Amino acid sequence: SRTYKLAVLPGDGIGPEVMAEALKVLDAVAARSGLSFEYNHQLVGGAAIDAVGKALPAETVAACEASDAILFGSVGGPKWEKLPPNEQPERGALLPLRKHFGLFANLRPGICYPALTSSSPIRPDLVEGGFDVLCVRELTGGMYFGQPKSRTTLPDGDIEVIDTMVYKKSEIVRIAHVAFKAAQLRRKHVTSVDKANVLTNSVLWRETMVEVAKEYPDVTLAHLYVDNAAMQLIKAPRSFDVLVTENLFGDILSDEMAMIAGSLGMLASASLGKPKGDGLYFGLFEPSGGTAPDIAGMGIANPIAQILSVALLLRFSLGLEKEAASIESAVKKVIDDGLRTGDIFSGAPGTKKVNTKEIGEAVIAAL
Amino acid sequence: SRTYKLAVLPGDGIGPEVMAEALKVLDAVAARSGLSFEYNHQLVGGAAIDAVGKALPAETVAACEASDAILFGSVGGPKWEKLPPNEQPERGALLPLRKHFGLFANLRPGICYPALTSSSPIRPDLVEGGFDVLCVRELTGGMYFGQPKSRTTLPDGDIEVIDTMVYKKSEIVRIAHVAFKAAQLRRKHVTSVDKANVLTNSVLWRETMVEVAKEYPDVTLAHLYVDNAAMQLIKAPRSFDVLVTENLFGDILSDEMAMIAGSLGMLASASLGKPKGDGLYFGLFEPSGGTAPDIAGMGIANPIAQILSVALLLRFSLGLEKEAASIESAVKKVIDDGLRTGDIFSGAPGTKKVNTKEIGEAVIAAL
Ligand SMILES: CC(C)[C@H](C(=O)O)[C@@H](O)C(=O)O
Ligand SMILES: CC(C)[C@H](C(=O)O)[C@@H](O)C(=O)O
């Protein structure tokens, strides 16, 4: 059987320490299943800036190209905040990676585990029983890369700035299919978010969602304006199944949803490129949270988001559904057993505060 | 003493019934203070579509032009949802009014009254004691009116849509002054929200905020990316004082904030045009909530947002601070006395469920 090649980009802050646990979990899965993985460790983000002067070295890109998927940690931190935005770790590494590999579909599960509803900032009666929303964000279109982007000094001395929101119908069609296919494997409901009462982009977005929906008669489709969606996510997170939206709205709403779920340290994400034809995608897999510079190096960060990123990688890029599900069940068991890193520890009876390594070991034991 | 002229546009749904209470309150204020008001009632929104075929008749605009300020109810409803977006009540009335009168500054107080924290969907410990955030949204720039907006069929049959986000520095400067001046009268902290790691617009926005801040040494300035702001509003609403942001981000965040505050029926808003020179502004004043078609005509809607819109009108367009404050205190007293319309009634001891008229009468009695 073949050896799967993974580009491993731990990055900054807590990235390296949570990545270490995620790889140990993957090693354990490999040992149990007889699968073989090869890790190609590469620099990215602030660590790459410090070592070789740029956030995304050519060598890192080449290693990703030679791999089956990218396992990403997180990038950024106060040390690099004074660089020009283009050169900073987040923008300088993430946006070029998305563009280079055509990672158009960002899947962010917003899961609030039944045992962790007390970590949610939402009133207990609104999140009782937990929830599981999948946010599907278009990741390579809209205002992120749209041209022209310009800054001009006008004759009267005023300055004018322009950004452009552009979508092609074909880009909307392909993300719609990702959302509807995902919904078919879940509770069969898609909520499309737009601002069709103001944006020409959104009018085409809405039309296209309606059109693609016809190919999925088993899935229901609802539309929300983005301002209303920002409200409904708070009031009724349990009413959502799959939420699909364009790049910038997705940036805002998926973070809002993560906050509502209550623990960024638990949430993984997948950024998928063109389908490979066999139902699999080249992709980049990363935690939804940041580098948490305040606790970096202390060994107390929550590694679960990084561990669940491995599960998403196995599922979407390698088609190893059984192994992916085994990691997800193991994580669930660890939570049900009451183990908590500081970010989700509330002192509730039956729970115990543990560190990064202890979670990693517990997940392996629960596999 | 002069007679103040107000254009009164009740609109659709609960608009007329809450407007009736707001005008009774204003009449009571007038009687007590010896001031004189003249109301020019005009059609707007769905009511105008039904009567004369368009959401914003020329006669309505003319009446607004001849007035000192506009008191607006709310527009929209299921009846008109199948019209093209441009002709619908919200878009067809609100956007042209904003543009025509240059209403560039939208002020939306997001107040969670200490007695009403249980109406907030946020966990009690995070909103204990209530909060008072002022959202300052730029209202005539950005993607709402930016050109080009286009839809093109490409040679290969694909469709491309474009919206344009444009700001001039002078537009950012004037909204910055509104935010800093407001902060000087409050807790002296401004949070500017942008996406400076991605948008050229936001880089200029951030630079300009920093520049204008120098004229307000007593006010502190912080910056948040919009995705992070969507999270912090939920986790720490009490940490905000004045939040200032561009049009579309403001659309999303001010609605999110209203939901966090817990009762849309309590929140008023002011949309201000060019300063008149004496510290006053021509403006449009309206509730933040919608037309609530489900309860329209039943006499049970919460009229407080409309009543507080009158207070904002008195303050910003007429300079009648004492009268504005008297309405706000009366509303506070009514809430402290335990009177609640259905939207904020939780059955807590010491509270009583009342209807629209009873709130209006109680506010008048408390003046
Ligand atoms: C760092 C930034 C450019 C990025 C984005 O806006 O996409 C981040 O917020 C994210 O969501 O991955
Ligand atoms: C109706 C719509 C065009 C409007 C907007 O987006 O500005 C509304 O959402 C608002 O916030 O007043």
pLDDT tens digits along B3-38: 999 999 999 999 999 999 999 999 999 999 999 999
pLDDT tens digit string along B246-267? Answer: 999 999 999 999 999 998 999 9
CB spacing of A259 vs B230 below 8 angstroms: yes
DSSP B252: H
Say which of A4, A195, A216, A343 is annotated catalytic: A195
DSSP A69: E
Q: Rounded to a whole number, what is the distance in Å from the CA of B251 to chain A's nearest CA?
A: 6
Whether residue A15 has pLDDT greater than 80: yes
Whether residue B277 has pLDDT greater than 90: no
Nearest CA in chain A to B255: A227
pLDDT tens digit string along A324-340? Answer: 999 999 999 999 999 99
Domain boundaries, chain A: 1-104+266-367, 121-261
Cα–ligand 1 centroid distance for B1 (angstroms)? 57
- With cut-offs at 50, 70 and 90, classify the pLDDT of residue A277: confident
pLDDT tens digit string along A33-63? Answer: 999 999 999 999 999 999 999 999 999 999 9
One-letter identity of residue A330: A
C-beta contacts of B55-59 below 8 A and 24+ residues apart: B55/B87, B55/B88, B55/B89, B55/B91, B55/B92, B55/B93, B56/B92, B56/B93, B56/B96, B56/B97
Please report the pLDDT score of residue A167 as a whole number: 98
Whether residue B80 has pLDDT greater than 90: yes
Say which of B39, B225, B255, B333 is annotated catalytic: B255
Please report the pLDDT score of residue B276 as a whole number: 86
User: How many residue pairs bridge chain A and chain B with CB atoms within 8 Å of each other?
Assistant: 170
| Cβ proximity of B270 and B316 under 8 Å | yes
Whether residue A13 has pLDDT greater than 80: yes
Please report the pLDDT score of residue A62 as a whole number: 98
Query: Domain A1-104+266-367 belongs to what architecture?
Result: 3-Layer(aba) Sandwich (3.40)
How many percent of chain B have pLDDT more than 70?
100
- With cut-offs at 50, 70 and 90, classify the pLDDT of residue A104: very high
- With cut-offs at 50, 70 and 90, classify the pLDDT of residue B354: very high
For range B214-219, the mean pLDDT = 98
Parallel/antiparallel/unpaired status of strands B159-168 and A159-168: antiparallel
Nearest CA in chain B to A201: B161
Enumerate residues 6+ apart whose C-beta is below 8 A from A264.
A258, A287, A288, A289, A290, A305, A343
Number of helices followed by number of strands (H, E) in chain B: 13, 14
Please report the pLDDT score of residue A303 as a whole number: 98
Chain A partners within 8 Å of B121 (Cβ): 122-123, 126, 234-235
Please report the pLDDT score of residue B191 as a whole number: 98
Please report the pLDDT score of residue A228 as a whole number: 97
Whole-Å CA distances, B167 to A159, B247, B256? 8, 10, 24
Topology alike, domains A1-104+266-367 and A121-261: yes
For range A162-179, the mean pLDDT = 98
Please report the pLDDT score of residue B275 as a whole number: 85
Whether residue A1 has pLDDT greater than 80: no
B227 is catalytic: yes
| Vertex B83: Cα angle to B80 and B85 (nearest 5) | 105
Chain A partners within 8 Å of B95 (Cβ): 198
CB spacing of B160 vs A169 below 8 angstroms: yes
> Which atom of ligand 2 is the closest one to the Cα of B95?
3
Please report the pLDDT score of residue B85 as a whole number: 84
| Mean pLDDT of all residues belonging to chain B | 97
CB spacing of B203 vs A253 below 8 angstroms: no
Cα–ligand 2 centroid distance for B247 (angstroms)? 10
Buried b (16+ CB within 10 A) or exposed e, B171-199: bbebbbebbbebbeeeeeebbbbbbbbbb
Ligand with smallest separation from the Cα of A286: 1
Please report the pLDDT score of residue A275 as a whole number: 85
CB spacing of B169 vs A149 below 8 angstroms: no
Number of helices followed by number of strands (H, E) in chain A: 13, 14
Q: Rounded to a whole number, what is the distance in Å from the CA of A359 to chain B's nearest CA?
A: 26
This prediction has a pTM of 0.97
Whether residue B1 has pLDDT greater than 80: no
Whether residue A85 has pLDDT greater than 90: no
One-letter identity of residue A110: G
Nearest CA in chain A to B168: A160
> Which atom of ligand 1 is the closest one to the Cα of A251?
11
Please report the pLDDT score of residue B210 as a whole number: 98
| Cβ proximity of B204 and A163 under 8 Å | no
- With cut-offs at 50, 70 and 90, classify the pLDDT of residue A309: very high
Whether residue B120 has pLDDT greater than 80: yes
Cα–ligand 1 centroid distance for A251 (angstroms)? 7
Please report the pLDDT score of residue A276 as a whole number: 85
Find the DSSP H helices in chain B: 15-33, 46-52, 58-65, 89, 95-100, 124-127, 169-184, 200-213, 226-235, 247-261, 304-316, 321-336, 356-366
- Residue B328 in contact with ligand 2 by CB distance below 6 A: no
Classify the C-alpha dihedral A31-A34-A40-A46 as positive or negative: negative
For range A300-306, the mean pLDDT = 98
A195 is catalytic: yes
For range B154-174, the mean pLDDT = 98
How many percent of chain B have pLDDT more than 90?
96
For range A9-16, the mean pLDDT = 98
- With cut-offs at 50, 70 and 90, classify the pLDDT of residue A76: very high
For range A203-229, the mean pLDDT = 98
d(CA B150, CA B305): 37
Whole-Å CA distances, A42 to A48, A129, A288, B16? 9, 40, 20, 64
How many percent of chain A have pLDDT more than 70?
100
- With cut-offs at 50, 70 and 90, classify the pLDDT of residue A263: confident
CATH number belonging to domain A121-261: 3.40.718.10
Chain A partners within 8 Å of B203 (Cβ): 85, 151, 161
| Cβ proximity of B310 and B327 under 8 Å | yes
Please report the pLDDT score of residue A278 as a whole number: 86
| Cβ proximity of B175 and B228 under 8 Å | no
B278 is catalytic: no
Please report the pLDDT score of residue B143 as a whole number: 98
CATH, domain B1-107+274-367, list 3.40.50.300, 3.40.718.10, 3.40.50.720, 3.40.50.40 = 3.40.718.10
User: Is A149 known as a binding-site position?
Assistant: no
CB spacing of B200 vs A169 below 8 angstroms: no
Q: Rounded to a whole number, what is the distance in Å from the CA of B129 to chain A's nearest CA?
A: 16
d(CA B158, CA B167): 30
B4 is catalytic: no
Say which of A144, A167, A216, A281 is annotated catalytic: A144
Closest C-alpha residue for ligand 1 atom 9:
A251
Whether residue A211 has pLDDT greater than 80: yes
How many percent of chain A have pLDDT more than 90?
96
> Which atom of ligand 2 is the closest one to the Cα of A198?
3
Element (H, E) at A205: helix A200-213
Cα–ligand 1 centroid distance for A142 (angstroms)? 13
One-letter identity of residue A234: I
Parallel/antiparallel/unpaired status of strands B159-168 and B150-153: antiparallel
For range A232-248, the mean pLDDT = 98
Please report the pLDDT score of residue B279 as a whole number: 85
- With cut-offs at 50, 70 and 90, classify the pLDDT of residue A121: very high
User: Is A232 known as a binding-site position?
Assistant: no
